[in-house]
């Protein structure tokens, strides 16, 4: 390639995946099984990752990616000529895990156990310059999820995730969201173009059409490692302070933020609004501190994207 044709930056996905093209793809992908959707994404999308907190849906996607990776390795073996040599099976989609510092111990253990089980590269991101809860609370105060929930979400989830996307040059990623989880997820398409960040990224909701029972059946039939808290009634598992077992007859995510008008943690909200809200609150707090007034950050709730 000559210097004149050498790309100086990666292609903006919004110039390739126009709204009309995304709609066309969603129509076509809707007829495919999730593993075929995953394979399409692997062969079609650059800089593809999987973001996961190792819930059941994320684990199913991880298992399916492993199967696709093995199939591709087998195809490579079949194409070889002459003496057959073993071809290493490389897990084709690296993992991003945002450690909020408030996960259950079982979740942290599972993250490393599952990554090792599948041979998947694991990138762990934590809140900026914090290694543990005590360090985070020394900087930001205790029970921030109660006093300033949007600030909490930004600091422990949104900012680390965005830092991961920038560090790793992520252009597309798998999520574990499904329509049967209701709330803001009830009408999600299989692929979404997120224009709230720059450069834009593609979200792939490969299991969007599956319900909880189908996911759980796959886990059992395929010996997928899972969080032992599932066996104690926790169908959807987040931070320790916002997660309770699900009651009979409830939706799987009803144990999250019980009693609150909240269905998302911030990772799937408008990033720019989250960041702007955080910076404004930080500025107000600094002004109050400088004046000797007790700082109280008041942040408007951030609407879902």
Catalytic residues: 265
The three-point CA angle 139-124-213 to 5° equals 110
In a 10 Å sphere around its CB, with 0-12 CB exposed, 13-18 middle and 19+ buried, how is residue 176 labelled? buried
Residue 24 lies in a domain: yes
Number of folded domains in the chain?
Answer: 1
- Are 174 and 191 in contact by the 8 Å Cβ rule? The answer is no
For each of the chain's 305 residues, which pLDDT tens digit applies? 333 333 335 667 878 899 999 999 999 999 999 999 999 999 999 999 999 999 999 999 999 999 999 999 988 888 876 556 677 889 999 999 999 999 999 999 999 999 999 999 999 999 999 999 999 999 999 999 999 989 999 999 999 999 999 999 999 999 999 999 887 888 899 999 998 888 899 999 999 999 999 999 999 999 999 999 999 999 999 999 999 999 898 888 888 878 776 666 655 555 556 666 666 666 666 666 677 665 544 444 444 43
Q: Which of 161, 193, 148 is nearest to 271 (CA)?
A: 161
Residue 9 lies in a domain: no
Residues in CB range of 71: below 8 A, 6 or more apart: 39
Give the CATH number, domain containing residue 260: 3.40.50.620
Residue 298 lies in a domain: no
Residue 204 lies in a domain: yes
Domain that holds residue 50: 14-76+88-289
Residue 3 lies in a domain: no
- Are 110 and 54 in contact by the 8 Å Cβ rule? The answer is yes
Q: Which of 64, 86, 8 is nearest to 204 (CA)?
A: 64
Residue 248 lies in a domain: yes
Res 254: pLDDT = 84
Given CA atoms 169, 172, 173, 179 in this order, what sign does their dihedral have? positive
CA pair distance 7, 9, nearest whole angstrom: 6
The pTM score is 0.84
Residue 82 lies in a domain: no
Res 188: pLDDT = 94
Res 197: pLDDT = 81
Res 298: pLDDT = 44
- Kindly state the tokens that stand for 100: 């909020």
Residue 163 lies in a domain: yes
């Amino acid at each position: 390639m000559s210097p004149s044709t050498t790309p100086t930056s990666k292609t903006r996905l919004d110039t390739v995946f126009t709204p009309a093209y995304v709609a066309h793809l969603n129509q076509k992908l809707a007829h495919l099984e999730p593993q075929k959707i995953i394979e399409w994404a692997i062969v079609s999308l650059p800089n593809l990752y999987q973001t996961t907190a190792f819930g059941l849906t994320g684990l199913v996607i991880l298992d399916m990616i492993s199967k696709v990776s093995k199939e591709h390795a087998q195809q490579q073996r079949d194409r070889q000529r002459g003496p057959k040599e073993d071809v290493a099976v490389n897990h084709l989609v690296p993992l991003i895990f945002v450690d909020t510092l408030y996960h259950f111990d079982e979740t942290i253990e599972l993250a490393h156990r599952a990554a090792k089980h599948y041979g998947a590269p694991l990138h762990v991101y934590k809140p900026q310059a914090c290694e543990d809860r005590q360090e985070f609370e020394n900087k930001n105060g205790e029970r921030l999820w109660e006093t300033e929930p949007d600030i909490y979400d930004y600091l422990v989830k949104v900012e680390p995730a965005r830092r991961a996307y920038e560090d790793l040059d992520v252009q597309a990623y798998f999520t574990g969201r499904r329509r049967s989880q209701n709330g803001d997820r009830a009408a999600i398409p299989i692929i979404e173009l997120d224009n709230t960040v720059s450069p834009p990224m593609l979200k792939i909701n490969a299991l969007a059409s599956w319900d909880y029972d189908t996911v759980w059946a796959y886990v059992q039939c395929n010996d997928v490692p899972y969080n032992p808290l599932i066996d104690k009634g926790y169908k959807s598992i987040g931070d320790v302070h916002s997660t309770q077992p699900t009651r009979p007859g409830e939706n799987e995510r009803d144990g999250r933020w019980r009693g609150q008008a909240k269905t998302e943690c911030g990772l799937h909200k408008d990033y720019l609004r989250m960041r702007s809200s955080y910076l404004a609150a930080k500025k107000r707090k600094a002004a109050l501190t400088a004046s000797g007034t007790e700082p109280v950050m008041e942040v408007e709730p951030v609407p879902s994207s």
